[in-house]
Amino acid sequence: MTSLRSHSTMPTPRSSVPASGPTPPTRALPPRDELLAAVAQRDRSYEGVFVLAVVSTGIFCRPGCPARTPRPENCRFFVDARAALLEGFRPCLRCRPLESADAPPEWLAPLLADVEAEPTHRWRDEELRAAGYQPSRVRRWFQRVHGMSFHDYSRARRLGAALGTLQSGGSVTNAGFDAGFESSSGFAEAFRKLAGQAPSRGAASTRVHVTRLSTPLGPLIAGCTDEHLVLLEFADRRGLPAQLATLAKRLGAVFVPGESALLERTGTQVHEWFANTRAEFELPVHAPGTPFQEAVWTALRAIPRGSTVSYGQLAQTLDRPKAVRAVAAANGANRLAILIPCHRVIGADGSLTGYAGGLWRKQRLLELEGLNLTP
């Protein structure tokens, strides 16, 4: 249980390794005035440029949606449907933004309807086959049309439904999450399903308040006890449910959506870090793990901003030179992204490798710290 303000000493970190790598898969939106004008004119020429999310309804639409034009202050813009889904918005049933790139074939329509009817359901290949779908065929269509697999889409839809859409100016509380559920406890129940955790109100349980933090690289899920930050992870990470289950087991935790002073501090410092006005975090954290994992995470915190080390160097620092794979596994088990900077660990040849949040995101994090490495 430590603050991240101070670091111990680590020998010989690798400095920047300049290289000309591919651009991360992100693109800038046109100016907001141009986007608002396109919405007001229902300009279909902007198809594929942006999707419009309406804060007051929790819905996202295509640029040419025939629905009533929303007020400008209720408009948010995203580069694609995936980004809107991860922020908790639901696809419009009128303009069907998920069909903007290519209308779904008849054979796929029932599956899409099932996902919308039960967005928190976790689909598996066995279920797809039982329902008469070939998982590879479904995956290929989603990859070609939406740039993501069906499971990526389903996970984004599931998490979006669980986290809900924050109303404009609303507070992050149980009642403040508008996820389309019928009761104020809907978010908590959906999040428990996501975490694979049965509802519990035991007096001995540790309450972990969770919220969503928007960042330029996608939303983060932050979780705090009354005293420590225990979770900071990208919302689309494949292993997030497993991370939540492990944290629940180690802390005896119950996840509850809500606000706290520490969550507010975390949000402020994360925003400052991405804005390059903060180099280090000053937050009390608790990262429970095995003794080896905790040793690796302590070593990670010693890597200075703007530097990298290889997995082998990290293993040598721990006097375990043959434990390279175990070091990599401990990196993958890290539940405090950015604060415990596992993105600063690279391959022995100086290339990017092994980041659960995606190599494009790892590259961008290092670029924010002044490095340019190639995947």
Same domain, 191 and 302: yes
User: Residue 55: which residues within 8 A CB-CB, separation 6 or more?
Assistant: 74, 75, 76, 165, 166, 167, 168
The confidence score (pLDDT) of residue 80 equals 83
Same domain, 271 and 316: yes
Domain interval for residue 173: 1-27+166-375
- Is pLDDT larger for residue 111 or for residue 26? 111
Residue 123 to residue 158: CA distance in whole angstroms? 10
Same domain, 173 and 72: no
CATH number, domain containing residue 248: 1.10.10.10
Same domain, 41 and 122: no
Secondary structure E strands in 214-288: 220-224, 229-234, 253-257, 284-285
Res 74 pLDDT > 50: yes
Determine, yes or no, domain membership for 95: no
**CA distances (Å), 94 to each of 65, 91, 115, 289, in order?**
8, 9, 17, 48
The confidence score (pLDDT) of residue 166 equals 28
Residue 14 to residue 35: CA distance in whole angstroms? 43
Q: Report the chain's mean pLDDT, rounded to a whole number.
A: 76
Q: What is the pTM of this model?
A: 0.55
- Is pLDDT larger for residue 260 or for residue 338? 338
Query: How many CA within 13 A on the CB side of residue 146?
Result: 25
- Is pLDDT larger for residue 118 or for residue 295? 295
Q: Would you place residue 371 in the very low, low, confident or very high pLDDT band (cuts 50, 70, 90)?
A: confident
Res 178 pLDDT > 50: no
- Number of domains within the chain: 3
Q: Would you place residue 352 in the very low, low, confident or very high pLDDT band (cuts 50, 70, 90)?
A: confident
Residue 292 to residue 303: CA distance in whole angstroms? 17
Task: Choose, from 61, 92, 95, 224, the residue flagged as catalytic.
Answer: 61
Same domain, 17 and 45: no
CA proximity to 80, closest of 63, 93, 64: 63
Res 202 pLDDT > 70: no
Res 203 pLDDT > 60: no
Res 60 pLDDT > 80: yes
For the chain, count helices (H), then strands (E): 13, 14
Residue 343 to residue 83: CA distance in whole angstroms? 22
Active site residue 342: yes
Determine, yes or no, domain membership for 237: yes
Determine, yes or no, domain membership for 241: yes
CA proximity to 161, closest of 90, 212, 112: 90
DSSP 336: B
Determine, yes or no, domain membership for 270: yes
Active site residue 61: yes
Instruction: Work out the number of other CB atoms within 10 angstroms of the CB of residue 107.
Output: 13
Bridge partners, residue 213, by sequence: 220
Same domain, 312 and 236: yes
Same domain, 265 and 275: yes
3-state helix, strand, coil in the chain (%, to 5): 40, 15, 50
Which range (13-27, 96-110, 283-297) has the least confidence?
13-27
Task: Choose, from 65, 95, 224, 342, the residue flagged as catalytic.
Answer: 342
The DSSP string of 275-312 is: TTS-SS---EE-----HHHHHHHHHHHTSPTT-BEEHH
Tokens representing residue 11 in the block: 């020998």
Determine, yes or no, domain membership for 310: yes
Same domain, 212 and 312: yes
Residue 83 to residue 145: CA distance in whole angstroms? 15
